[in-house]
Amino acid sequence: MSRSVLPRPSRPSLPVGPSPLTHARTPLAAALGGYVATRLIGLAVLAVVAGVQGKDGMHRLSGRWDSVWYVRIAEHGYGYEVRLPNGDVHSDLAFFPLFPALERGLAAVLSVDAATAGLIVAWSAGVAAAWGIYRCGAHVAGERAGVLLAVLWGVYPTAFVQSMAYTETLFTALAAWSLYAVLRGRWVLAGVLCAAAGLTRPTAAALIAALGITVVVTVVRERRLPPAMAVGVLVAPLGWLGYIVYVGVREGSATAYFEVQAAWGNSIDGGVALARFIAGLPWPAALGLCAALGLLGRLVALCVRQRQPLPLLVYTIGVVFVSLVGAAYFGSRPRLMMPAFGLLLPPAVALARLRSRTALPVLAGLALASAVYGAFTLLGSGPP
């Protein structure tokens, strides 16, 4: 199997002092333990806030919004749709099949309901995602940065979604391990994992582009296409394309999937909806949102300056791009960007340079802030 891949950037020189982040039994244990701790903090805060408000916090994790659609697909298959008062039709064909298929299979094996199975899938996938994120970070910038990258992903502002029966954790796990396989030159495995990601979320288009562009650049540089690389890049889009074709055949139209998404308000408009949303805000809120977008642009620029490996960089930029150019509900955009874990690598490297007595309180504060934000968002009226 070919090990050909783009040159790996030099790792930053990072101090490693006594720290639970680096002196757990293994760095992997530190990464997974730190990540699990962030999720437990989130669940604990949700339980407290839900108790104060007299609401059912667990129901918000598995029995509302998109989770309900996945459960319905798991239990009854595709074919359900809702007609809104304005005439729009929301079809369950907008949801990709891998997550509900796993819900159905796990529910049958464990004799639990599909909603509970969805939580098990999502939580297990969250740990797998943190593991893959750690591997990618350690490969690029060293083990300490890898540990911090996994923990930072767990304190992302909308990290509460990682505790929900949503597809973000499953997709991120498949994407992270696919990218790590590319970084290790294991192209066939990378292609298979990318194909699975393509059965999970439409954002897989960014991962497919990352593998494809990496292959093109590698071929141009080396003037050869190793067989394993060719197989991997050909397999990579099969999941995503397969589902698009399935919807097209089922509905009798080659563009049926995109029409279904448009009916949900998820068409690509080049950022027009985002611009209109900002323009319609009161000026203090508009300035704050513009500042947040400026910070996002700064993070992307830092990723480029950090000289992240090409597949990781293309994937990160691709996820951000797809999240911003669609006409989707604005509140979902931060969630849609959450799989772009490469954005967190510059902060992870910066934190890795700090002493543990400084880095740990920063992470604890971020975890608590993320948990509080998540609890009030989950217990609110709108979907994340």
What predicted TM-score, i.e. pTM, was given to this entire model?
A: 0.92
Kindly write down the DSSP assignment for every residue of 308-341, as one continuous string. --HHHHHHHHHHHHHHHHB---GGGHHHHHTT-G
Q: Give the pLDDT band of residue 101 (cuts 50, 70, 90).
A: very high
**In what helix (H) or strand (E) does residue 90 lie, and over which residues does it extend?**
strand 89-91
Residue 31: its pLDDT value, please? Answer: 96
CA distance 326 to 205: 14
Could you give the CA distance from residue 40 to residue 336 in angstroms, rounded to a whole number?
22
Q: CA-CA distance, 218 to 4, in Å (whole number)? A: 8
**pLDDT digit string, tens, across residues 329-352:** 677 888 999 999 999 999 999 999
- Cα 213 to Cα 1, 135, 216, 311, 318, distances in angstroms: 20, 22, 5, 8, 11
Measured distance CA(225)–CA(210) in Å, rounded: 16
**Structure confidence at residue 17 as a pLDDT band (50, 70, 90):** very low
Confidence band, pLDDT 50/70/90 cuts, at residue 273: confident
pLDDT in tens, 243-256: 999 999 999 999 99
Task: Judge contact between 90 and 263, C-beta under 8 A.
Answer: yes
Place of tokens 């994992």: 193
Give the pLDDT confidence score for residue 10 in this predicted structure.
43
* Residue 310, CA atoms < 13 Å, CB-side half-sphere: 15
pLDDT in tens, 148-187: 999 999 999 999 999 999 999 999 999 999 999 999 999 9
Residue 357's pLDDT is what? 87
Tokens of 43: 């669940």
Q: Where are the domains of the chain?
A: 27-378
| Cα 133 to Cα 122: distance, rounded to the nearest angstrom | 16
Q: What are 22's two structure tokens?
A: 């680096």
89 — pLDDT class (breaks 50, 70, 90): confident
Supply the mean pLDDT for the chain: 91
CB atoms within 10 A of CB 18: 10
Q: For residue 19, what pLDDT band results from cuts at 50, 70 and 90?
A: very low
Instruction: Give DSSP secondary structure letters for 225-262.
Output: --HHHHHHHHHTTHHHHHHHHHHHHHHT-TTHHHHHHH
Is the separation of the CB atoms in 122 and 1 below 8 Å? no
